[in-house]
Structure 1
Amino acid sequence: MPERELKFELSPTGAASLLERNPFDFSPMILQQKSIYFDTPKWDLFNRGMSFRIRQSGNERIQTLKAGNGSAAGLLARGEWEQPVPGDAPVLDNPQVHTLLAGCSQDLAPLFEVHVKRHRWTVTEGDATVEVVLDIGKVVAADREAPLCEFEFESKAGPLGALFQLARRVDRITPGHLGVLSKAERGYRLLGPAPGAIKASTIPLTHDMTAALAFAQIAAACLRQFRLNEIALGWSRDAAVLHQARVSLRRLRALLSIGKSLFEDSRFDHIRDELRWLARETGDARDIDVMIERARGEELSDRLQGARNDAYAEVEAALSSSRARALMIDAAEWISGSDWQRDQSGKATLEAPAKEFSSAVFDKFWKKVAKKGRNLTDVDDETRHKLRIAAKKLRYAAEFFGPLYDSKKEAKRHRRFIAAMEHLQDQLGGLNDLVTASTTLSALKLSDVAGAEGLSRAADKKKLLHEAAEAHEHFVDAKRFWR
């Protein structure tokens, strides 16, 4: 049966505070649990988006196979098959489980274990029943282990909004960050190298999807990409990680702009505005990172590094703020269970085939980019900036909905179109870096430092303008894959 749950990550201190200030009116049931996760040596189950475990609580052992979409964030809806088993060895007599494990069952072996002390409440909120679980423990894989501290809300009956109401109640007691990693993913991460920057992955859209369902799936993937990079920023001030965090925010904001016609919902504007705020809070650090890569001269590099440290401290403060945490909860709720998906006034648009909707989007933004790029060498910086934004939206839309254009002809045109868009964006991005560098250096009072003039040279701008104009011509000539 489908499993619908919301997950949050807590610090050990936060978990202790939560238990001390129990947000519910009764004490939790406490269980000690050990879970053994199985896969093949080549991680075939993981690569199929599945997990397979045997969990022991007391003398009871339950075998569970989960299959679902690993690209989501916030509310998870996954297929789940459970059965009691006598020991720590898998039992494969369920025909459906046996089918799902086809080709893997003979090679299954234990990979890692999860040990937790589980605190469980069953909470009634109006018409809703929610199982609330606080797990405190560790993940153990080979000679490595990592602490685990997470809060889960699983809907057992009634409206899904109760999950988010409870999440906000808990967040008022102790900070919690939207969880996007399952326990299984944590184990696999321990078996590999430390993850760095997480780039956007292809979103598995299908031809039978409506515009509403495709939008929700894409938005959840963007939110997940952001949280994965935010987690990585917690232990490393890596420029590539921050860049991908910003990319995920840009993609989500672009999606909202692309899908604006779908919604008659007041929360849409709130979420869009809050995403813009969070992007601004991370902007200075990214601008300084770009300048550091191009800076020449020891004094300028040292001064920029000092400014970078301050900017990253501001990023960390923003990400840990109650405002940022509230945004993640609001966005996850809106994507996962918002009223817009049941809005009767816009039903025809929401239920339109995703491919039909995306083709109209492509036509709209292609015309914008084609028109705004005329006479590119003669327009002002602001006009080029608007072109850059329109080009990003078109490229992101092409990446989002690309899986719907999967015939041999469409796929070939899609690859060439994306390549043309990337080349145009590279040139426009270089021009934007020159303009941004001048503004940022002035704000940091570094304009007169030796080497600063090299970050915004007119000669570089002239060369980039010529290359951007050529890239725009190539874009206009590229075959439109959606036609």
Structure 2
Amino acid sequence: MAPLYLSPKELHPSTIMRPIGDCHLGTETELKLELSADAADTLLGSGLLGEPVSVEPLTSIYFDTPDHQVWQGGYSLRIRSVGEAHIQTVKATGPNNAIFARSEWEAPVTGNTPVIDYSTPLKAELDIDATAPIPQFSTSVKRHRWNVDQDGSKIEVALDTGLVVAGDRQTQIRELELELKDGKPNALFVLARRIEAIVPIHFGVASKAERGYRLLGEQTTAYKAEAVHLDRELRVSASFQIIAEACLRQFRLNESILLDRANPSALHQARVSLRRLRSAFSLYKAVLVDAESRRLKDELKWLTGVLGTARNIDVLIARAGSSDIRVRLLEARDSAYDDVLNALYSSRAKALMLDVNEWLRCGEYLTLSETTEIRNGPVVDFAIETLDRHRKKLKKRGKSLVEADDEHRHEARKAAKKLRYACEFLSSLFTSKQAERRYAKFIKSMEELQDELGLLNDMATAPTVVHELELDSHPDAEPLVAVGNREKLLNAAQSSLDDLMERKRFWRG
């Protein structure tokens, strides 16, 4: 008998919930918002959502094998207790996860003992032994629930306030989930804007399961970009959505750290995520021809710039050692970080996050007639053409790096960065052993080139940053601008570029 299981790649956000045996399989179309404690109280007292249809305590236990095979395999497993009832839920995470829609498998069980069979991917895909999962952590929340009619669409709203507990560690939960039950996805954003008019909100990208696993391990200080997984059967527009969501997720994870404390690593990674997202806009410019695409890219450039000012000072501080100039730099950094916080808390930044998330899923670019052919075309063909084009652009702009001026070298650096991001975004489409070997060598050469071009860029821009901080005449300013041997770096960069151009393209057979 064939297993009663469909993999997440066979699903689409428009898939409706349908029964498979006693298990319900489908995708959630939802927005998850994070609130402060004061915001949660204000929302409850506002009357915006009316009277809740229910207020109930929910306790969930999350299970996994001792070596976390479930989580590492891209899923979470929990049993939730509601009164006398027990509901087991398996959710896709990691590469199978999305901000806006997630695959899940749900079924009633008896007590707090997981059922591992072919109705979920835990057996069908991961081959988890039925007796292997054990409790890892738990959540305990009070859930307020409303049914909201927004412009004819039916939305279930749930506010969870409580704790995630793992051993002697715990973290608070204040989550507001808007789940579309029937109607149009853009209704979720209309309701989110109504809520944002009353209380500050931030998009939530970390699930309760993810919070729990963090408590079990080391607490991170910054989040690097996660691998992007694209299926070869995707349309071009869908591949862009997956890439953009990955960038937005990285930004929000690091923004959450920045809103809590000044953190150079988190600021750097937040800036990287925005640069990656802007690069994705450029890579897919043939699809993104609508006016809103251009406006959003400009807004992302603004926010990237605010973070960039603080990042430039952080770089100088790392070179300053214990000299007197360090005190001046730390004062300048405090001011720059205040500007970062003001920007992140501003109505402009909050509107940007709402706008870009709504546009990503419901924007005009998805329906324009002039882009129908390329938008709905095969992603592999698009990837090959895109990688070829950006490799050619780097080759052209990287000619004679030694003789070129700083402006032309900066253009070569930007071309190298775009090619690097394109490789990282699209590499999962090329999975043969040969492609993987070529990719590893190609990326290594790219990393060397970017490091050298980065140092040359620092050498060119550091004097400007020092001047803007009015530190030109400081006796300790010299180490801030003397970042290396210029001639040696130029020759090394040219050698790395030549080596890169000789590498076989992993996207070509």
TM over 0.5: yes
RMSD: 1.9
d(CA) in 1 for partners of 2:133, 2:381: 43
Q: Secondary structure in 2 aligned to 1:262?
A: coil
Letter in 2 for 1:89: T
Q: Secondary structure in 2 aligned to 1:406?
A: coil
Q: Secondary structure in 2 aligned to 1:234?
A: helix
Match of 1:180 among 195, 200, 205: 205
Cross-structure match for 1:441 = 466
Please report how far the alpha carbon of residue 92 of structure 1 lies from its aligned counterpart in structure 2 after TM superposition.
4.3
Please report how far the alpha carbon of residue 313 of structure 1 lies from its aligned counterpart in structure 2 after TM superposition.
1.7
1:481 aligns with 2:503: no
d(CA) in 2 for partners of 1:107, 1:58: 26
Tell me the alpha carbon deviations over residues 368-404 of structure 1, each in whole angstroms, 9 at most, x when there is no partner: 1111111212222111111111111011001110111
1:82 aligns with 2:106: yes
d(CA) in 2 for partners of 1:112, 1:440: 47
Aligned length in residues: 482
Q: Secondary structure in 1 aligned to 2:384?
A: helix
Letter in 2 for 1:312: Y
Please report how far the alpha carbon of residue 461 of structure 1 lies from its aligned counterpart in structure 2 after TM superposition.
2.5
- Contact 2:60/2:81 (<8 A) preserved: yes
1:195 aligns with 2:195: no
Letter in 1 for 2:358: E
Of 103-112 and 36-45, deviating more is 103-112
Cross-structure match for 1:232 = 257
Q: Secondary structure in 2 aligned to 1:345?
A: helix
- Contact 1:71/1:220 (<8 A) preserved: no
d(CA) in 2 for partners of 1:125, 1:434: 55
d(CA) in 2 for partners of 1:421, 1:21: 53
Please report how far the alpha carbon of residue 242 of structure 1 lies from its aligned counterpart in structure 2 after TM superposition.
1.4
1:347 aligns with 2:365: no
Closer/same/farther in 2, CA of residues 71 and 265 from structure 1, 3 Å limit? farther
Match runs of 1:62-141 below 5 Å: 62-69=87-94, 74-75=99-100, 77-92=101-116, 95-96=119-120, 98-99=123-124, 102-141=127-166
* Unaligned runs of at least 5 residues, structure 2: 1-25
Tell me the alpha carbon deviations over residues 133-172 of structure 1, each in whole angstroms, 9 at most, x when there is no partner: 1111111111111111011000101110011111111111
Q: Secondary structure in 2 aligned to 1:282?
A: helix
Match runs of 1:14-53 below 5 Å: 14-53=39-78
Match runs of 1:266-415 below 5 Å: 266-296=291-321, 298-415=323-440
Tell me the alpha carbon deviations over residues 117-139 of structure 1, each in whole angstroms, 9 at most, x when there is no partner: 11111111123111011111111
- Contact 1:229/1:242 (<8 A) preserved: yes
d(CA) in 2 for partners of 1:433, 1:382: 13
Please report how far the alpha carbon of residue 321 of structure 1 lies from its aligned counterpart in structure 2 after TM superposition.
1.8
Closer/same/farther in 2, CA of residues 167 and 113 from structure 1, 3 Å limit? same
1:252 aligns with 2:277: yes
| Structure-2-length-normalised TM-score | 0.90
* Unaligned runs of at least 5 residues, structure 1: none
Of 370-379 and 473-482, deviating more is 473-482
1:154 aligns with 2:154: no
Of 330-339 and 349-358, deviating more is 330-339
Closer/same/farther in 2, CA of residues 15 and 377 from structure 1, 3 Å limit? same
d(CA) in 2 for partners of 1:252, 1:71: 20
Identical pairs, percent: 44
d(CA) in 2 for partners of 1:280, 1:14: 29
Larger RCO of the pair (alpha carbons < 8 Å, separation 6+): 1
Please report how far the alpha carbon of residue 100 of structure 1 lies from its aligned counterpart in structure 2 after TM superposition.
5.2
1:142 aligns with 2:176: no
Tell me the alpha carbon deviations over residues 169-228 of structure 1, each in whole angstroms, 9 at most, x when there is no partner: 111111111100111111111111111221112211122122111111111111111111
- Contact 1:287/1:440 (<8 A) preserved: yes
Match runs of 1:416-455 below 5 Å: 416-455=441-480
d(CA) in 2 for partners of 1:102, 1:120: 36
Closer/same/farther in 2, CA of residues 195 and 249 from structure 1, 3 Å limit? same
d(CA) in 2 for partners of 1:101, 1:128: 37
Tell me the alpha carbon deviations over residues 322-341 of structure 1, each in whole angstroms, 9 at most, x when there is no partner: 22122122222222333423
Tell me the alpha carbon deviations over residues 285-326 of structure 1, each in whole angstroms, 9 at most, x when there is no partner: 111111111225511122112211221121122112222122
Letter in 2 for 1:467: A
Kindly report structure 1 stretches of 4+ aligned residues shifted beyond 6 Å.
Answer: none
Of 19-28 and 187-196, deviating more is 19-28
- Contact 1:198/1:244 (<8 A) preserved: yes
Closer/same/farther in 2, CA of residues 104 and 248 from structure 1, 3 Å limit? farther
Closer/same/farther in 2, CA of residues 285 and 81 from structure 1, 3 Å limit? same
d(CA) in 1 for partners of 2:337, 2:261: 10
Match of 1:3 among 28, 46, 61: 28
d(CA) in 1 for partners of 2:481, 2:270: 26
Tell me the alpha carbon deviations over residues 266-299 of structure 1, each in whole angstroms, 9 at most, x when there is no partner: 2111210111011011011111111111225511
Letter in 2 for 1:83: A
d(CA) in 1 for partners of 2:171, 2:47: 26
d(CA) in 2 for partners of 1:458, 1:10: 43
- Contact 2:56/2:144 (<8 A) preserved: yes
Please report how far the alpha carbon of residue 241 of structure 1 lies from its aligned counterpart in structure 2 after TM superposition.
1.7
Please report how far the alpha carbon of residue 459 of structure 1 lies from its aligned counterpart in structure 2 after TM superposition.
6.7
Letter in 2 for 1:65: V
Please report how far the alpha carbon of residue 78 of structure 1 lies from its aligned counterpart in structure 2 after TM superposition.
2.0
| Structure-1-length-normalised TM-score | 0.95
d(CA) in 2 for partners of 1:458, 1:399: 28
d(CA) in 2 for partners of 1:187, 1:234: 21
Closer/same/farther in 2, CA of residues 426 and 94 from structure 1, 3 Å limit? closer
- Contact 1:200/1:225 (<8 A) preserved: yes
1:461 aligns with 2:503: no
d(CA) in 1 for partners of 2:150, 2:483: 63
Cross-structure match for 2:496 = 471
d(CA) in 2 for partners of 1:92, 1:459: 58
Closer/same/farther in 2, CA of residues 399 and 261 from structure 1, 3 Å limit? same
1:206 aligns with 2:236: no
Closer/same/farther in 2, CA of residues 296 and 136 from structure 1, 3 Å limit? closer
d(CA) in 1 for partners of 2:185, 2:368: 17
Of 49-58 and 111-120, deviating more is 49-58
- Contact 1:123/1:132 (<8 A) preserved: yes
Cross-structure match for 1:12 = 37
Please report how far the alpha carbon of residue 455 of structure 1 lies from its aligned counterpart in structure 2 after TM superposition.
2.5
d(CA) in 2 for partners of 1:227, 1:70: 17
